[in-house]
Amino acid sequence: PPDQLPADKEKPTLVVLGSGWGATSFLKSLDTEEFNVVVISPRNYFLFTPLLPSVTVGTLEPRSIIQPTRYITRHKKRKVDVYEAEAQEVDPVKKTVTFQDLSDIRGAAGSVTIPYDYLVYAVGCENQTFGIKGVTEHACFLKELSDADKIRTKLMDCIETAAFRDQPQDEIDRLMHMVVVGGGPTGVEYAGELHDFLIDDLKKWYPEVADRLRITLIEALPNVLPAFSKQLIQYTESTFAENKIDVLTRTMVKDVKDSSVVVQDANKQMREIPYGLLVWATGNTSRQITRDLMNKLSAVQTQRRGLLVDDYLSLLGGEGVYAIGDCTATSYAPTAQVASQQGIYLAGIFQKLGQKAKLERQLAQLRAAPNASPEEIEATVKKLNRAAKLTPFHYSHQGSLAYIGSEKAIADLPLFNGNVASGGGAAMLFWRSAYISTLYSVRNRTLVLADWLKVKIFGR
């Protein structure tokens, strides 16, 4: 917009890597007046991940849960540059970032290197495969919007193929077997959504094969959802049993083939399970760029899990670099809740850095002025000292929520100095209202509510 301040060579350059939970909440709260801000991310939008499983079966439309990054930056005081590109290298000594447009349409520009004064590193993580053979080739992940789309297409293809004329019985059984690996919240929520699709829609549309659909969730540990309270784990497992979702616990996937997975069960027995669709949700691992950065700072970056930061989210060993969200190794879980609180906190740190720079300029002017009053100088020095005082990041846990299918959700809430665990329809209403209230814009809220209503009336 014309009233945005243009870039100012006198101000420091702040580069933000990413457009996920951490980077977006940072950008939303950031005052850009004192910085030239550059945002680099391969995705030019924010994705509301908690509702991503709902996109895999058409409960929600993809556009309802994304928000363009430019929607946020175009309202900032000073102009922000947004580049749809992948950062390839961070040089913490020279203080530069190298990035390139690696999307399908690239133009003639090659890779670009720019200097930064400050860097906010929020590139998240990639999918963990533990190096298990065949995962990347044959399984679908559930992290990005394109993953949800791929699952939706593949799921429908399996069902249509199963309904194809003269399909052999054992092939129908294979095609209609949907296997989910990983009993964390991603795997559980996906299995729940899939069950709803079966009950609400498939039975009507594909009566000839709907009853053959089976959902199996494979988890290496003794139970699903290890981060939730015991009561909610039991509630989830019994709801899944009622919904005929098979849960294979103490079972570890060892190998993935194009139409079956090889698992080792609790008795160390190996067996092969045929599948039509395989969804892989076994958690996170660091991105290559993060591993490279750790290697460059190996004297202090000693955690393989992620980047180490101090209490103010400043990267150990990286001057002017701050890291937030899933790419860090802290005592907090890799969740949207943590990343967004860190983003807001960091915007506060930058507010202080901006104030400090402003006050330093004022002080220099005052000291240079022949008739400046000593009281005024002293007051400015006091303000400067206040701006330099930082409080460490403090995480406030608002509870954990997960949708488990058949209009039921589970909620672990830290209330009244203790934990309140709740499961069922009330938790489901709470789950919906919590997500609606945290969805970033009025546009997103309206779209999500309209999608939910549409599904109630017309089905998926």
Residues near ligand FAD, by CB under 6 A: 17-23, 40-43, 49-50, 52-53, 86-87, 122-124, 142-143, 186, 287, 289, 325-327, 334-337, 339
Position closest to ligand FAD via CB: 20
From ligand NAD, ligand FAD, none, interface partner of 40 (C-beta below 5 to 8 A by class) = ligand FAD
Give dist(CA 331, CA 309) in Å, integer: 11
Specify the residue, 181 or 202, whose C-beta has the smaller distance to ligand NAD: 181
Handedness of CA 49, 50, 51, 55 (dihedral sign): positive
Burial of 272 per CB tally in 10 Å (0-12, 13-18, 19+)? exposed
CB of 54 to ligand FAD, least distance (A): 10
Q: How far is the CB of 53 from ligand FAD (least distance, A)?
A: 6
Q: Which does 412 bind (CB under 5 to 8 A by kind): ligand NAD, ligand FAD, none?
A: none
Residue among 209 and 339 whose Cβ is closer to ligand FAD: 339
Contact 452, 432 (CB under 8 A): yes
| Residue 181, contacted partner among ligand NAD, ligand FAD, none, CB below 5-8 A by kind | ligand NAD
Q: In this complex, which beta carbon is closest to ligand FAD, that of residue 196 or of residue 326?
A: 326
Q: Which is nearer to ligand FAD, 132 or 402 (CB)?
A: 402
End-to-end CA distance of the chain: 39
Least Å from the CB of residue 21 to ligand NAD: 10
Cβ at position 427, least distance to ligand NAD in Å? 12
Please say which residue, 32 or 282, places its beta carbon nearer to ligand NAD: 282
Nearest 5°: phi and psi at 170?
-70, -25
In the complex, the residues that contact ligand NAD under the rule CB under 6 A are 50, 130, 181-187, 189, 218-221, 226-227, 252-253, 281-284, 333-335, 400-402
Tokens of 245: 């979702």
Report in angstroms the alpha-carbon separations of 415 from 298, 341, 389, 393, 411.
41, 19, 32, 22, 11
Query: Quick one: what does residue 100 bind among ligand FAD, ligand NAD, none, with the CB cut-off 5 to 8 Å set by partner type?
Result: none
Residue 4 interacting entry, from ligand NAD, ligand FAD, none, C-beta within 5 to 8 Å by type: none
CA-based nearest residue to 301, from 310, 128, 395: 310
Residue where the block lists tokens 């060993």: 317
Smallest separation, CB 98 to ligand FAD (Å):
10
Q: Which is nearer to ligand FAD, 43 or 291 (CB)?
A: 43
Q: Is the dihedral of CA 28, 30, 36, 42 positive or negative?
A: negative
Among 205, 197, 208, 199, residue whose Cα is nearest residue 163 = 208
Going from the C-alpha of 31 to that of each of 222, 265, 327, 353, 355, the distances in angstroms are 47, 54, 24, 11, 10
Handedness of CA 440, 441, 445, 450 (dihedral sign): negative
Cβ at position 335, least distance to ligand NAD in Å: 5
